[in-house]
Chains A and B, each alone.
Chain A
Amino acid sequence: MPNQTLLHTILAPGGLSTVFQPIYEIQAGQIEIFALEALTRGPKLSNLERAEVLFEYVRRKSAEPAVDRACIELALREAARIPLNVALSINVHVATLERDEAFDRFLAGCCEATGINPSRIVLEIVEQQRYWDATRFHRMVRKLRDDGVRIALDDVGRGNSNYRMMVEVRPDFVKVDRYFVEGCDVNAGALSAIESMVLLATRLGGRVIGEGIEATAELAAVTDLGIGLVQGFLLGRPRTACEFINDAQPGPRKFASEINHVTHVH
């Protein structure tokens, strides 16, 4: 079709797919899956298969609300198939919370349809560009919290994902941007930045998640700062719902010795 844009392809059945990456909780030498983060991929074999290109495109089309809905509906449907009763982390744009006035009802409907309790949902707010209507944004965040949904801020420390947002939203979870995590074991400046985020998040009543962890030394550095929630290729790569279903014991068991080393030596 000549007028068919990629946006039509994205929103058509089968246009999107979801994988899940575990977020782990480390406590007293034990490590368990705390949550699964749903990660959306664009149409296969297209430029938008890469998530960062997909969402750049969506933002340029100003189509965040429609695409966020499609991503969330699919993520919950897929997550419902996974036999793990853990939190479910789902990305949502600031623009969606601001512009989609029925988003809370939509999410509640998805939860009802899939049998997922809203208290399992953690909405990760991404692309925290300056929002134009703070009243509408905060009203939606309040309504979602009233439904039992928890709120996380993604990529904190990068771009507009800043301390103002932390103070105003008082998130349940703060995800430190991977820029600070990468090589933080040998970067005193990055480590100081993470430390300041931990301090602020804790004072505001939230917990910090270290994402993008790819090396044992990075894991050791962030856990030394008191960060108990971690995510990254070192611990677990994104996998489809089918892969989770077929693996009765998902988790970084093969890393158990490293985790024990990290949590006991330091």
Chain B
Amino acid sequence: MAQSDPMSHAPKMLVIDDDASILLAFKKYFSKHGFTVEIAREREEAEALIATTRYVVVIADVRLTSTGSREGVEILRFIRSQSRGTLVVILTAHRSHNLEAVVRHLGANAFLQKPAALADIANVINSLMDSHA
């Protein structure tokens, strides 16, 4: 897991989901594992943060509203227009091969099915960070 640093040099993580309880669970878990975790519920909020902050990891749910639109995919597209170095993990409750192909083509580093155990997500991030170190 990330090296914990009390001097706030901890790697920054952004978690994007429209479910407040999920956001809080992520924040609590990954803060304990050495990340500075910020959370966002809206696409525009997430993009405003990404435009002004350098994140090491972004975790985004594909659907942020009940409209069925794939805002998480748009956020991924935005991240890749800004920075190639950020690790992006896409989560979805509606997994499909086509969606996975699209997000991988757009540059997602991992594509995971919800619900996923936080420890499993942490393992994926850990190995991504190791391989991109």
Contact = CB atoms under 8 A, between A and B. Distances in A.
Interface of A: 5-6, 47-48, 50, 52-54, 56-57, 60-61
Interface stretch (B1-9, B43-51, B112-120): B43-51
Contact of A56 (B38, B41, B43, B52): B52
B13 interface: no
Interface in B95-132: none
Nearest to A57: B48
Interface in B47-91: 47-49, 51-53
Contacts of A5: 42
A51 to B, nearest CB: 10
A53 B49 contact: yes
A48 B45 contact: yes
A47 B12 CA distance: 14
Contacts of B43: 60
- 7 smallest CB-CB distances across A and B, nearest first, come from A56-B48, A60-B44, A57-B48, A52-B52, A53-B48, A56-B51, A61-B44
Given A56-B51, A60-B47, 19 more contacts: A5-B42, A6-B41, A6-B42, A6-B45, A47-B40, A47-B48, A48-B45, A53-B48, A53-B49, A53-B52, A53-B53, A54-B48, A56-B47, A56-B52, A57-B44, A57-B48, A60-B44, A60-B48, A61-B44
B15 to A, nearest CB: 12
Interface in B7-49: 38, 40-45, 47-49
A47 B52 CA distance: 11
29 contacts: A5-B42, A6-B41, A6-B42, A6-B44, A6-B45, A47-B38, A47-B40, A47-B45, A47-B48, A47-B49, A48-B45, A48-B48, A50-B52, A52-B52, A53-B48, A53-B49, A53-B52, A53-B53, A54-B48, A56-B47, A56-B48, A56-B51, A56-B52, A57-B44, A57-B45, A57-B48, A60-B43, A60-B44, A60-B47
Interface residues of B, number: 13
A60 B52 CA distance: 13
A49 B104 CA distance: 34
Main secondary structure of the interface of A (DSSP, over half): helix
Contacts of B49: 47, 53
A53 B42 CA distance: 13
Nearest to A61: B44
A53 B44 CA distance: 10
Nearest to B66: A2
A57 B40 CA distance: 12
Contacts of A61: 44
B87 to A, nearest CB: 20
Contacts of A50: 52
A47 B42 CA distance: 11
B17 to A, nearest CB: 14
B58 to A, nearest CB: 14
B22 to A, nearest CB: 15
B79 to A, nearest CB: 14
Nearest to A51: B52
B66 to A, nearest CB: 8
Contacts of B38: 47
Nearest to A46: B45
A193 to B, nearest CB: 24
Contacts of A48: 45, 48
Contacts of A6: 41-42, 44-45
Contacts of A60: 43-44, 47-48
